Amino acid sequence: MGSPSLALADVFRGQSTVSKDHAVAINTKVNTFESPCPRKQPPVPKCSAQAALTDAPARNSIADFDKCLPFGKAGEDGAYFLRLTVRRIQSLTPAIKLFQLAAADGLALPVFTAGSHIKIKVILPDGRDDERHYSLINSHSQNGDYVIAVQHEANGRGGSTFMHGLAVGSGLEIAGPSNDFPLAVGATHHVLIAGGIGITPILSMANALRAAGQVFEFHYAARTPASMAFREAVELISDGRAQLCFSEGDAARRLKLSEIVGAPQNGRHVYVCGPRSMIDDVKKVAESRGWPGGHVHFESFGAAPQSGSAAIEVVLRRSGRTLLVSAQQSILDALLGSGIDHPHDCKRGECSTCQVEVIEGTPDNRDYCLFGPDYDAGKVMCVCVSRSKTARLVLDL
């Protein structure tokens, strides 16, 4: 794909200066995705690859951002609220577009680490405001902008349609960056697994690991070659040793996750981003092989499914209110729609920001982040994705 290669060269500017001596171990034996295991552990501190990015020269320090950004005021979670302008748009596949975003006033944007994302305000077809999370693909040391990629979902809720309707010069409001999917401290071997548009945070990780000279292997699956975004960049970063898989709709040709994950080893960590079925399969394999939960890291994309849900009554004990949550909406959306500004972030059951205490009723927990005795006893839940096994829930809200 001629022109997309030019865009990728810009995004990964500077890669040609990386030493070929940096160790990049790729497992050449590797083709099934698809099912739950060790729950996600709380985010860990930065590893040396993350530090290599954070410590790289930047035009401004975090302390300077309140002064230099249009409305760069840090929120309670440390995220910054920024106005950006679309600097460049590039079609990577028939369904995926790359967006290069710059500060509206041309000043430096906050630095970030591999695995970070930004939250973008979008306008849905019915005129309502909503938000979408997009992983940052580049590293802050490569240029002063943010680079994301968005896959258009024809049957989605409208966020990707909004993004694909943008033009160069369009303005955006964002929060971030923040990182719920960091590289692990102390890891000596990183196994990177990406499915479809899930390549975006994984590519950033590979970029950081290579720059830091760390050992990693790269496995990337797409349905067809034409639908695989960033193929050239993946081959560049991995010195052509990445495992690329094209299923063409045939389950037998999918990544052999059992072989990729393998047995746990000291210092070996697995990172996966892709369809929920892929994440579930990686977790299932890891659990069956006895992997420590803190060594398996993941991030999904898209909204969490609400299939199999029924309308439920949710009683808010402290506020004395009762909400009827329809089968088509999450408890979080019902709270927000009722004017209750409940804390939340990912809306995918991965960050635990929206967790609440359950006073009565039995939650149907569908998150990937909570763990422990209270969780196992049904005393806490993430209201962004979890439902109820009973017709009525009483929450400590």
Q: What is the pLDDT, as a whole number, of residue 79?
A: 52
Maximum separation of any 2 CA atoms in the chain, in Å: 64
What the chain holds in terms of domains, given with CATH numbers, is: 2-33+184-300 (3.40.50.80), 62-178 (2.40.30.10), 312-395 (3.10.20.30)
Rounded to whole angstroms, how far apart are CA atoms 306 and 304?
7
Inter-residue contact 250 to 216 (CB < 8 Å):
no
Phi, psi of 281 (to 5 degrees): -65, -40
How far is it, in rounded angstroms, from Cα 292 to Cα 312? Answer: 36
| DSSP run (H or E) holding 381 | strand 380-382
- pLDDT of 345 > 50? The answer is yes
Give per-residue pLDDT as tens, 290-306: 999 789 999 877 555 55
The span from the CA of 384 to the CA of 367, in Å, is 8
Element (H, E) at 334: helix 331-337
Q: Find out whether 223 and 236 touch, Cβ atoms under 8 Å.
A: no
Q: What is the pLDDT of residue 304?
A: 54
* Model pLDDT, residue 184: 95
Cβ atoms within 10 A of the Cβ of 246, count? Answer: 18
245 CB contacts (<8 Å, ≥6 apart)?
30, 31, 219, 220, 221, 222, 253, 254, 255
- pLDDT for 312 beyond 80: yes
- Closest of 299, 297, 291 to residue 271, by C-alpha: 297
Cα(33)–Cα(197) distance, integer angstroms: 15
Q: How far apart are the C-alpha atoms of 204 and 11, rounded to whole Å?
A: 11
Beta carbons of 63 and 149 less than 8 angstroms apart:
no
Which pLDDT tens digit goes with each residue over 323-332? 999 988 899 9
Query: Nearest to residue 355, comparing CAs of 395, 326, 311, 314?
Result: 395
Instruction: Note the pLDDT tens digit of each residue in 108-143.
Output: 899 999 999 999 999 999 998 988 999 999 876 666
Per-residue pLDDT at 197 exceeds 50: yes
Give me the residue label for tokens 């077809």: 125
Q: What is d(CA 137, CA 191) in angstroms, rounded to the nearest whole number? A: 18
pTM of the prediction?
A: 0.71
Q: Quick one: pLDDT at residue 370?
A: 80
